[in-house]
Amino acid sequence: MEKLKIAICDDEKPTLDLLDRKTRDLLARKDLDANIRLFTGGAELAREYETDAHPFDVILLDIKMDGPDGIETAKRIREKDDGVYIVFITSSAEYVFRGYEVKAFRYLMKTELEYGFDRVLSDTIREISDSAQTFFTFQFGNEKMKLDPRLINYFESSKRVVRIALDRENYKTYAKLDDIEPQLGGMFVRCHQSYLVNVSRIEKLSPTEILLKNGETLPVSKKHRKAVGDAYLWTMR
Least confident of 12-21, 100-109, 118-127, 150-159: 100-109
Report the pLDDT value the prediction gives residue 139, as an integer from 0 to 100: 85
Count other Cβ atoms within 10 Å, centred on residue 42: 26
Q: Is the pLDDT of residue 212 over 90?
A: yes
Q: Is the pLDDT of residue 98 over 70?
A: no
| 141-144-150-156 Cα dihedral, nearest 10 degrees | 30
Note the maximum CA span of the chain: 60
Report the pLDDT value the prediction gives residue 185, as an integer from 0 to 100: 66
Rounded to an integer, the average pLDDT of 111-128 is 90
Phi, psi (deg, nearest 5) at residue 45: -65, -45
Q: Which of 59, 32, 27 is nearest to 46 (CA)?
A: 59
Domains assigned to the chain: 4-130 (3.40.50.2300), 136-235 (2.40.50.1020)
